[in-house]
Amino acid sequence: MPKALLLENLHPQSHAILAEAGFDVVTRTGALDESELIEALDGVHLLGIRSKTQVTAAAIEQASDLVAIGAFCIGTNQIDLAAAATRGVATFNAPFSNTRSVVEIAIAEIIALTRRLTEFDKQMHDGVWNKSAVGAHEVRGRTLGIIGYGNIGTQLSVLAENLGMSVVFYDTAEKLALGNARRMHTLDELLETSDVVTLHVDGRSGNAGLFGAKQIARMKPGAVLLNLSRGFVVDPAALRDAIVSGHLSGAAVDVFPVEPKRKGDPFESELRGLPNVILTPHTGGSTEEAQEAIGQFVAHKLRDYIATGSTTLSVNLPNVALDQHPGVHRLAYLHHNVPGVLAGINATLAEHGVNIEGQLLATRGDIGYVVTDAGSAVDPAVVAALSSQPEAIRLRVLS
């Protein structure tokens, strides 16, 4: 029975889907460090994680049975995708499933910070009645600047406009503006224009340190900053200085450069205790609805890859959409992308009298993926011949 290891408190639906598909599913709470992960991956075919567990090249190299990794979140920067690809380990994530949850928390924080609800709430709990309009504003008529106009940024753009906000955005890629949103040509132009700046960039290494003292200084006095993207994007010390000096009137931070591995672990940050600053424990996408959707989506991708070889929406392998057809014997062949591979495969199959009923080839950088459907069972000699080719990475026979 193939084995699946699910870490970091994944939704029960992921366990149920994989168990129903015939996997022996083992669940563990919290993240694992590299040595713990290497030990835990012994005999494991599928690995499910969220954002805390770092799946390094060393861990992948020693996990000889590992076939696929599921990132039950949006980001995949915690996984060495290149190492996984060169070992023939497919990786899937959930790029859309928690979009609405992140957008809703951003809207809630924009309103809360603009109205200084955090300060009023704290004073009331301290027994202080401070009825005042000073520093509290409507969001209607104010300008929201969105950095990163992807799935989350675009949906946030639409909802913010419905609240009466003007929306500007900046993205390094060409993006179609929705509604009345306006594209800014430079980041500085956005910062100088916006009353609220919210970050929704991805985890690529080039975004590390994107937002520091220089960028914060370009923001309007009294503006608000939200970071719901990646912890390494914003310099927390620079943000603290801006809050303490009064240059920024508030901030909301959901992600941090260093985060505890397990629920209940102590949390340290220079942002703790600051006025009108909302800190949340990386829960921007953590609603029950989102976690259920993510659990179902990624578990289905893992299940389908094992059963049919389909790599649709894989983040590190060529994408091939496949269905399983009764009576078909399928060869799923991951290989180095060099000339002559397809000809060599077909020559080997012909030598062994294997009739090809269908065949698909896709490439992605240095990796190629050939899926061949045969009308009869494939002899072990064919498998041995293909697996021994110098370009072979991983061959799976699916019947």
Active site residues: 230, 259, 282
Cβ–Cβ < 8 Å for 221, 171: no
Q: Is 269 exposed, middle or buried (0-12, 13-18, 19+ CB in 10 A)?
A: middle
Phi, psi of 185 (to 5 degrees): -80, -25
| Residues linked to residue 333 through DSSP beta bridges, in sequence order | 370, 395
Nearest in space to 10 (alpha carbons), one of 56, 53, 61, 64: 53
> Using CA atoms, how far apart are residues 19 and 4, in angstroms rounded to an integer?
9
> Using CA atoms, how far apart are residues 187 and 363, in angstroms rounded to an integer?
35
Cβ–Cβ < 8 Å for 233, 201: yes
Tell me the two tokens of residue 390: 């110098």
> Using CA atoms, how far apart are residues 399 and 309, in angstroms rounded to an integer?
11
How many CA atoms are closer than 13 Å to the CA of 57, on its beta-carbon side?
Answer: 4
Q: Is 3 left (phi over 0), alpha (psi -120 to 50) or beta?
A: beta
- Residue carrying structure tokens 């309103």: 111
> Using CA atoms, how far apart are residues 293 and 287, in angstroms rounded to an integer?
10
Q: What is the CA radius of gyration of the chain?
A: 25
Tell me the two tokens of residue 249: 């009137």
Cβ–Cβ < 8 Å for 84, 61: no
> Using CA atoms, how far apart are residues 314 and 318, in angstroms rounded to an integer?
7
